[in-house]
Structures are given as C-alpha cells and as structure tokens.
Amino acid sequence: MIDPVNNFKIPEEWIFRTGMPREELETKIASGMIVVLSDGAVLKRGYTTGTTASAAAKAAVLSLKKKVIDVSVPTPAGLRAHLDVSESSAGRAVVKKISNDHESDITRGLEFVGEAREAEEIRIFGGKGIGIVRRGGLQVPLGQPAINPKPMEQIRAAVQEAVEELGLKGAEVTISIPEGERVGKETLNSRIGVEGGISVLGSTGFVEPWNDHLGETKGDLIRCTDRVVLTTGRIGMRYSHMLFPDYTVVMVGSRISEGLESASGDVIICGLPGLVLKWGNPEMLKDSGYATVVEMLEKAPEHVRLKEAFEMAVKKGKGARIVVIDRDGSVLMDSKN
C-alpha cells in the first residue's frame, strides 16, 4: 500500500501489525487521513488551515443558491478532502478545523467563516483573524493577508468548483477566523512578522500527527528524553516518526553535532544523505566531479566516498545509530545493519 500524501510505500509487516482488516485499512490509507507506523500503530491526520479555509469558501458560494451540510474540496496532495459544514445561510458558511493526533495543533476546532457574493470574477479576501504580513522575506507580500501561495491556489480551485456548479461568472469570498487573533498570540507569528491572527498554510492539505515546530524547546526536549531521533528536516521528521514511533523525534537541521551534545541514552541520527553524509565528511564532494551528494548517489551509487562519509558519520556519532533515508522514506544506509 502507498500512503498517497507522502508517496511512502508502507511495508507489509507494518500493515500486518495494525491488526486491522485489509479492506478497511486500504480505504483509510487511500483517503489520506491515517498514517501507519512501523510498530503497527495508526495515527489520524487532520486537514490544514488551507483545506479548512477552502471548504468554508466553497460552502459559502454554494450557499448562495442552496443549503449546504458538507463539502468536498481539492488538496495540493491530489486527494479530495471531505468536511462537514456547521452552518450555512445565503452566502455564509462555517466549517470547523477537524481534530487529529497532533497534540500541539492549537488550531484544532477553530471555526472558519466564508462569506460570498456573486461577482464577475473570482476574488479571495482575508478577513478578521487572518494575520497580516508586516515583514518582508515571507512567501506573502508585505501588507497582505497571511494566506500562503499553495493554500491560496487551493481556495481559488475550491471556489472555482462552486462557481461552475452554480453557473456563475465568479464570486468574491472573504474568509475570516473569529478566534484567529487570540490563537495567533499562541503561535510564533509575531516573531516572523505576521500580526493580528493566524496564517493559512498547508503544502499538502493534510496535517501530520506530530509536532515539527519545537523551536526553542529543542535542546530541553533532547536532554529530557532517553530515546531520541535527531533528524535533519521535514522529510526526515515525517519518516522518523513512522520508522521509530517509540522515540522522541527532534528536527535539528544541519546542527547535528549540537543536538548530539545534548542527547544521552539511545540516540538515532536520521535524515537525507545530503546533510547526514556531509556532516560525516564535509569535504566529501571536493574534487569529486559531483555538485551534490544526491547527484553522486544517482550516478555513482557505489562511489567510495559515500561509504567513507557514512563511516565517518558513524564515528562522529559516538555510538548513535546512523540512518540515511531517501526522499520516499526508504532506508539507504543503517549502521545497525
């Protein structure tokens, strides 16, 4: 079975360990709403703020002509998301962000309100509770509502579906989050330059059931656990949770050595080859003729420098297990083996 959100091929032994009927498991996996871990545990995904905003926007447009009790919207992952509509009246709809197994997702249960009116074209506006970008360098221009490009495309696509279904030329939709300003104060938005509410985000449309925004608590978290995976990025974070469900997973980026200094007990370093192998040997590409570690792996998978860098990473790890994974989650190198 393939997880359609991250394209990970789930090993048969993982599937067996779930103890669930295969047909039921296939249906749930195909929906994108569950993640299977290596020990057979099954965790529930949620929908992002982008998906929830898309549902509220589409439902608001549809409510111009009819009563709406549920809605289906496209996601960036290519799957359909299905959400209940809490309220709908002429041009207004409310959709709640569903719960998931991400314990630190403070946006669970938030109400997203869409308000729509007919227009000559499709236009999307950010209302109360959606933060405003007050600093340059972000994906959204200065002074604009903090709706990232990918979810904005998702919202427009959802509204387009509603417009076509009703036979309209277009619609103007304003999305607001009544509790957004309050919840925004509990996020890191103010530090990155987003004020007055939360951001509308989501690169896949789905919320993974774990926290990858540990911020300043990383060092403390590493020190306080005796079973930890230090991982290099979001892909490593995603698959480390699946591969090592009994461990606390902390994203350290390129600061592997710093994370290792804080760690004790059972330690795993897991991530993509570009960071893990170059951490082992920062000079591995020098005079090699290859621009990146990935290029070396693709063109010369048996290159001696790959093995050397891995061995150096093992030595540098001082007893930590070193696991190098591909972008699809498959294990390329494992010091345990």
What domains are there in the chain, each with its CATH number? 2-44 (3.30.1990), 47-207 (3.30.2110.10), 215-334 (3.40.50.10720)
| Residue 130 to residues 110, 122, 137, 169, 189, Cα–Cα distance (Å) | 12, 19, 18, 27, 11
Grade residue 75 by pLDDT with cuts at 50, 70 and 90: very high
Token pair for residue 77? 């992952």
**pLDDT of the residue at 213:** 45
- The 10s digit of each residue's pLDDT in 81-110 is 999 999 999 999 999 999 888 777 889 999
Q: Computed over its alpha carbons, how large is the radius of gyration of the chain?
A: 22
Grade residue 135 by pLDDT with cuts at 50, 70 and 90: confident
**pLDDT of the residue at 201:** 92
**pLDDT of the residue at 217:** 52
C-beta of residue 259 within 8 angstroms of C-beta of residue 232 = no
**pLDDT of the residue at 222:** 83
Q: What are the φ and ψ backbone dihedral angles of 206, each rounded to 5 degrees?
A: -120, 145
Cα separation, 26 vs 42, in Å, equals 12
Q: Report the phi/psi class of residue 66: left, alpha or beta, with left for phi > 0 and alpha for psi in -120 to 50.
A: beta
Cα separation, 134 vs 316, in Å, equals 42
Report the pLDDT averaged over residues 124-151.
Answer: 94
**pLDDT of the residue at 177:** 98
Flag whether pLDDT at 215 surpasses 80. no
**pLDDT of the residue at 212:** 53
Q: How many CB atoms lie within 10 A of CB 331?
A: 14
Cα separation, 336 vs 185, in Å, equals 44
Q: 248-267 as b/e, with b when 16 or more CB fall inside 10 Å?
A: bbbbbeeebeebbebbeebb
Token pair for residue 32? 């994108």
**pLDDT of the residue at 192:** 78
C-beta of residue 219 within 8 angstroms of C-beta of residue 263 = no
- The 10s digit of each residue's pLDDT in 46-65 is 999 999 999 999 999 999 99
**Which range, of 1-5, 197-201, 212-216, 313-317, averages the lowest pLDDT?**
212-216
**pLDDT of the residue at 317:** 95
- The 10s digit of each residue's pLDDT in 285-322 is 999 999 889 899 999 999 999 999 999 999 999 999 99
